[in-house]
């Protein structure tokens, strides 16, 4: 993969875009503004990933040495310039859509930079910040298509799932984070407590997410697909409670990511607009 594409972490950026696409699908509103919102989310998320690598290059040299900066594929200075250009492009396009989305893109960009510089190494606050930004992708899409209330519900569940994954990822990265003096949850309070908190987020999301069917946002297909995601989350919760090793934390992180993908699929499958097409 080209280094300039790789450093964007396109998989994560596409997941953020999917949040907007799902709100579009639920609303049935496929406007030019909505697709421009997808572009903004991809570009700003990619820029955020780059700036994260910019500040974390020493930690990544230990935890993830194959990433573009520690591997030497892209210099740190070039990565910094690249991220700034992408942030500017995303913000400009956001303001082109409307003022509110432009302000969200601008403030989100500031939060991403501050997160990478400072908040990531702060207990829980860093996890809350990135989880909030993930949920905000749904709200961003909701504003673009006029489906704000539903997008807030979806953003809330994205927040819960991301919180679980962020904590588990901190458990996975504990060795490199310790060497860099980061004050993450597993470093300060231990991996056992961290596993309990991460599992709690997975369990809360699993128990309460069927409510979106019962309050009438999604149809029965949502539940049918959702149960697969719930199964993944519950397996992940039990696994991380039993074993807090770096290896198992990496495995559980993957399970949560898969579970999130299946949950997003459930959102799509259960959308009234999609049902109306058949």
Q: What is the mean pLDDT of residues 204-209?
A: 96
Tens of pLDDT, residue by residue over 50-77, are 999 999 888 777 778 889 998 889 999 9
Q: What is the 3-state secondary structure (H, E, C) of 200-241?
A: HHHHHHHHHCCHHHHCCCCCHHHHHHHHHHHHHHHHHHHHHH
Go through the domains of the chain in sequence order and give each one's CATH number.
1-146 (1.10.357.140), 148-272 (1.20.120)
Q: What is the pTM of this model?
A: 0.90
Q: Show Cβ contacts of residue 171 under 8 Å, excluding neighbours closer than 6 positions.
A: 186, 191, 194, 195, 198, 240, 244, 246, 249
Tens of pLDDT, residue by residue over 138-182, are 999 999 999 999 999 999 999 999 999 999 999 998 887 777 777
pLDDT > 90 fraction of the chain, expressed in percent and rounded = 78
> How high is the pLDDT of residue 256?
95
> How high is the pLDDT of residue 113?
95
Tens of pLDDT, residue by residue over 123-140, are 889 899 999 999 999 999
Grade residue 103 by pLDDT with cuts at 50, 70 and 90: very high
């Amino acid at each position: 993969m080209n280094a300039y594409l790789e450093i964007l972490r396109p998989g994560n950026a596409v997941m953020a875009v999917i949040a907007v696409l799902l709100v579009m699908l639920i609303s049935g509103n496929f406007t030019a503004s909505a697709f421009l919102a997808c572009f903004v989310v991809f570009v700003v998320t990619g820029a955020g990933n780059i700036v994260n690598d910019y500040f974390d290059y020493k930690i990544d040299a230990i935890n993830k040495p194959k990433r573009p900066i520690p591997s030497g594929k892209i210099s740190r200075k070039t990565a910094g310039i690249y991220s700034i250009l992408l942030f500017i492009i995303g913000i400009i396009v956001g303001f082109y859509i409307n003022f509110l989305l432009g302000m969200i893109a601008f403030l989100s960009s500031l939060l991403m930079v501050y997160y990478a510089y400072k908040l990531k190494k702060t207990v829980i606050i860093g996890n809350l910040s990135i989880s909030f930004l993930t949920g905000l992708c749904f709200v961003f899409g909701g504003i673009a298509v006029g489906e704000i209330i539903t997008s807030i519900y979806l953003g809330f569940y994205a927040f819960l799932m991301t919180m679980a994954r962020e904590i588990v990822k901190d458990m996975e990265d504990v060795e490199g984070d310790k060497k860099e003096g980061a004050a993450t949850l597993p470093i300060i309070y231990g991996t056992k407590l961290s596993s309990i908190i991460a599992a709690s987020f997975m369990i809360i999301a699993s128990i309460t997410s069927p409510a979106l069917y019962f309050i009438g946002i999604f149809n029965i297909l949502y539940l049918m697909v959702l149960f697969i995601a719930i199964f993944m989350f519950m397996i992940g919760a039990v696994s991380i409670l039993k074993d807090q090793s770096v290896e198992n934390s990496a495995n559980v992180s993957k399970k949560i990511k898969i579970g999130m993908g299946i949950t997003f699929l459930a959102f799509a499958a259960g959308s009234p607009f999609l049902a109306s097409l058949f």
